[in-house]
């Protein structure tokens, strides 16, 4: 039996090596130990077609992938993820934790690849029929720290990870600007803090979200699926 009456959708965002997967796992464990049903998922991926798209776009060796193609592959994976995985779980009243969501595309393809952040957001709003997280946890990482973390004892970097530090610096700025434009919907934390401290701050914020009156949470999930018409937590 779920404690929550309506689903809650939380996205983890931030540069490569920021600690997203670590914190998503910590939050899932904390919430599950309290009796919540949690679905942990990731992008690109999360569905069979999404996992194939993930290897297509992240692995080396698939030939040139131009920026528009890259953006469309991420959006295609996200469309499947939103409709096949996230919406159904929210409908069952679960807490959905996703490792990356739309902001990653706005930052990596919009800012990093210079496709334009508005264009990439529009594409992804269309792909997801406007499904927005109730909360986005942004782990703000210095690109050099991120690179250091992910290359220690790990396999080779993927197509995007192996881009220059300057590319990752633009992505970092884009993430911070997204959070600043809708502060009520974000928790921004410096990724260099210890794992336990970050986990504590994230849990405290999620507790506050779960304590909001069920009617409000329900509205947030059930309002028309158009960004701008379905705002909760402020901003546009």
Ligand X SMILES: Nc1ncnc2c1ncn2[C@@H]1O[C@H](COP(=O)(O)OP(=O)(O)OP(=O)(O)O)[C@@H](O)[C@H]1O
What are the residues binding ligand X (CB under 6 A)?
Answer: 14, 16-22, 149-150, 193-195, 198
Question: How far is residue 178's CA from residue 17's CA, in Å, rounded to a whole number?
Answer: 19
- Taking the mean position of all CA atoms in its chain, how far away is CA 12? 4
Start-to-end Cα distance in the chain: 34
For Mg ion, the closer CB: 21 or 84: 21
Find the binder of Mg ion among 2, 21, 218, 231 (CB under 5 A). Answer: 21
Q: Is 22 in the site for Mg ion (CB under 5 A)?
A: no
For Mg ion, the closer CB: 137 or 217: 137
| Residue written as token pair 């939380």 | 10
CB of 179 to ligand X, least distance (A): 16
Q: Are 71 and 127 in contact (CB under 8 A)?
A: no
Out of Mg ion, ligand X, none, what residue 149 binds, judged by CB under 5 to 8 A for its kind, is ligand X
Q: Token pair for residue 38? A: 């949690």
Out of ligand X, Mg ion, none, what residue 228 binds, judged by CB under 5 to 8 A for its kind, is none
Q: Are 235 and 183 in contact (CB under 8 A)?
A: yes
Question: How far is residue 75's CA from residue 102's CA, in Å, rounded to a whole number?
Answer: 8
Question: How far is residue 116's CA from residue 110's CA, in Å, rounded to a whole number?
Answer: 4
Out of Mg ion, ligand X, none, what residue 150 binds, judged by CB under 5 to 8 A for its kind, is ligand X
Q: Is 151 in the site for Mg ion (CB under 5 A)?
A: no
CB of 11 to ligand X, least distance (A): 12
CB of 228 to ligand X, least distance (A): 29
Which is nearest to 8 in space by CA: 208, 236, 228, 189? 208
Given the rule CB under 5 A, which of 13-21, 117-125, 177-185, 214-222 is the region that contacts Mg ion? Answer: 13-21
Q: Is 129 in the site for Mg ion (CB under 5 A)?
A: no
Q: For binding to Mg ion (CB under 5 A), which residues are involved?
A: 21
């Amino acid at each position: 039996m779920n404690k929550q009456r309506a689903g809650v959708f939380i996205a983890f965002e931030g540069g490569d090596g920021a600690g997203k997967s670590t914190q998503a796992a910590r939050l899932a464990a904390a919430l599950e130990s309290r009796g919540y049903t949690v679905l942990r998922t990731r992008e690109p991926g999360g569905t069979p077609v999404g996992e194939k798209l993930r290897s297509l776009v992240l692995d080396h060796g698939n030939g040139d992938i131009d920026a528009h193609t890259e953006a469309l592959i991420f959006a295609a994976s996200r469309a499947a993820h939103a409709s096949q995985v996230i919406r159904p779980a929210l409908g069952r009243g679960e807490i959905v934790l996703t490792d990356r969501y739309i902001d990653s595309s706005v930052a990596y393809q919009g800012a990093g690849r210079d496709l334009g952040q508005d264009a990439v957001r529009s594409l992804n709003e269309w792909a997801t029929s406007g499904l927005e997280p109730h909360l986005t946890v942004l782990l703000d990482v210095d690109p050099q720290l991120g690179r250091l973390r992910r290359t220690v004892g790990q396999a080779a970097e993927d197509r995007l990870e192996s881009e220059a530090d300057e590319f990752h610096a633009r992505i970092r700025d884009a993430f911070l600007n997204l959070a600043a434009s809708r502060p009520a919907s974000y928790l921004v934390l410096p990724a260099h803090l210890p794992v336990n401290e970050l986990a504590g701050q994230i849990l405290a914020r999620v507790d506050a979200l779960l304590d909001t009156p069920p009617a409000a949470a329900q509205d947030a999930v059930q309002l028309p699926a158009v960004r701008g018409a379905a705002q909760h937590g402020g901003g546009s």
